[in-house]
A and B are shown apart, each in its own frame.
Chain A
């Protein structure tokens, strides 16, 4: 099977490529940070230190305080998918490894990758194996219940421990103190167990320093997202997705502060000069619901650009703007830290606020074949939000990492239909 974007073309027939816009300084810094993350993990492994893999919404500050090197499978799988390198991993996972096609594609890519690291599969690793073999796993279940089974399999396969926090689904619009105590007790135990396993020592003073950095980074990340309320929005919305690794993998690091301060500065310059990195005139402002469709991000962007649609708000990226100062605050925050752990009322009110703040004229819902939990609530969220906000929406079938679950023609028709409704609404508004 040939993945989209890998088909060979005749060089003589190919049109001359436009010169690429130089990468902004913040993006260069981010790339350096990502390189350092993997390199530091490799060096730690060489020194005989224990290296971990972590779920994306796990309190990163715990590992940071213990000066542990931790890598992030979800982030790594997304990168592989975005670079159109997922196919051999998907085939390996569904074939020789015997997993179901219906699993989350982040999991499928990662389970196959782990199998190679464990000398059980022979898929060529496109990144040379920079995701070094873990000695332990850090896990929370706030973002996804499939993660627990995925990590259980990893733990079994590689005979390594899981350090786990059960954050529970949250049926209320608030967090009860009992829940905070339940999660806090687990955090305390997890720190003890992790120290015992890795030989590291917990230092409260250092934790406070890490938390200061982490809070500064959360603030900067939220600020960068919020600055998209300017018109025109200072960035092409999809660009913000690229900066998520600064929050997911490096939230407690000063290198993230530097990246995000630079990003904020660049955004402010765009606002001051009234320009944007969005390459065409911003005709429509929309919100994006769900994880990015990484294998087709380019096609998504290209289609939206044809109509001047900029994605100015996303429920996805902001999930990492989590605020807390101490371990109690951490426990409280993680009871509320992800869309999939929240009830519909909370989800809808967050989205309604965003639609208003960013003056969105429509919403695009990514019906993500990888994430059944997200899809379960999406139809009702669509219905209620459309009724309350009075703005149109469309949805499309896709996948966060499995390129086989998407149709370009279907995406194009739906976006065109959405534009036709948004255009009518705009004209009606202008004509009073």
Chain B
């Protein structure tokens, strides 16, 4: 029995097909989010990879910022519950999840079954989100995927004091014009994000284990900065970017089997 989970974010679309609620048989990440062809491509490619047809899917759950716009799913669930479930599947010992998405950041406390107990989200400002990193990578003229490894070379992270994305942009430009090395600026940017997110995450405590979820977790510079700010190890799974979609597919399986029992 197959279930389908799709996470339509603001900057990327992630799709997962799950067999019997346990085995990921296909997963795809497309770097285009809601309002683009990203969700359609993610769906098409994941079915191609799984070599099954959409008719073989028993239940579909959509999550993410663009969840309201998806018309074929059986149900839509918030990304909060989906990331909780997804990370529990990938890293069962985790009780605190930090997810930095394209335009929001959230901290989740979960139980031993991957259920959401409590959560905190960022305020209306874009500081401490994936969008902040996108903007900064563009100014540094560095590919977003290279920002993490670049910052790891730094021995003297630059101080980025502004939390406002627009002001931080000016601050970074001024550091560039002062010939501060790129790796130090990149490390400063990661520290700035980590400070902002850790400040929010610590409101719900840091019950171990702590993990990061979402695409930003692939940035090793942010993960290390988060570890310093949280003063604890932060786990990251290679499939962290797909955690929301995995959670959606698991919840789809749980819903379907529950309905069947009834």
Contact = CB atoms under 8 A, between A and B. Distances in A.
A405 B124 contact: yes
Nearest to B123: A397
Nearest to B78: A416
A409 interface: yes
B123 A417 contact: no
A134 B76 CA distance: 53
Contact of B124 (A394, A397, A417): A397
A414 B123 CA distance: 11
Contacts of B77: 416, 420
B226 interface: no
Contacts of A417: 78, 80-81, 116, 119
B104 A421 contact: no
Interface string B91-134: 00000000000001000000000011111110110000000000
A406 B124 CA distance: 7
The dominant DSSP class at the B interface is mixed
Nearest to A406: B124
The dominant DSSP class at the A interface is helix
A228 interface: no
A181 B116 CA distance: 51
A394 B106 CA distance: 12
A416 to B, nearest CB: 4
Given A409-B65, A413-B79, A420 B124 contact: no
B262 interface: no
B182 to A, nearest CB: 33
A256 B105 CA distance: 47
Contacts, number: 46
Interface in A390-432: 392-395, 397, 405-407, 409-410, 412-414, 416-417, 420-421, 424
B260 interface: no
Given A386-B118, A417-B119, A424-B116, A379 B78 contact: no
B121 A410 contact: yes
A259 interface: no
B79 A420 contact: no
Contacts of A397: 123-124
Nearest to B203: A379
A163 B116 CA distance: 52
Contacts of B80: 413, 416-417, 420
Contacts of A356: none
A interface residue count range (under 10 / 10 to 19 / 20 to 34 / 35 or more): 20 to 34
A213 interface: no
A383 interface: yes
Contacts of A406: 124
A407 B124 contact: yes
Nearest to A418: B119
A420 B203 contact: no
Given A383-B203, A405-B124, A417-B81, A410 B104 contact: yes
A367 interface: yes
Nearest to B82: A420
Interface string A268-298: 0000000000000000000000000000000
Contact of B117 (A392, A405, A413): A392
Contacts of B121: 394, 410, 413-414
Interface in B60-94: 65, 68, 77-81
Interface string A325-346: 0000000000000000000000
Contacts of A394: 119, 121
B78 A392 contact: no
Interface in A194-222: none
A414 B68 CA distance: 14
Nearest to B124: A397
A58 B90 CA distance: 58
Contacts of A410: 104, 121, 124
A395 B119 CA distance: 10
| Cβ-closest 6 pairs across A and B | A417-B80, A416-B78, A397-B124, A420-B81, A417-B78, A397-B123
29 contacts: A379-B203, A392-B117, A392-B118, A393-B118, A394-B119, A397-B123, A397-B124, A405-B124, A407-B124, A410-B104, A410-B121, A413-B78, A413-B104, A413-B121, A416-B80, A417-B78, A417-B80, A417-B81, A417-B116, A420-B77, A420-B78, A420-B80, A420-B81, A421-B116, A421-B117, A421-B118, A421-B119, A424-B115, A424-B116
Given A413-B80, A413-B121, A421-B116, 10 more contacts: A393-B118, A406-B124, A407-B124, A413-B65, A416-B77, A416-B78, A417-B119, A420-B116, A424-B115, A424-B116
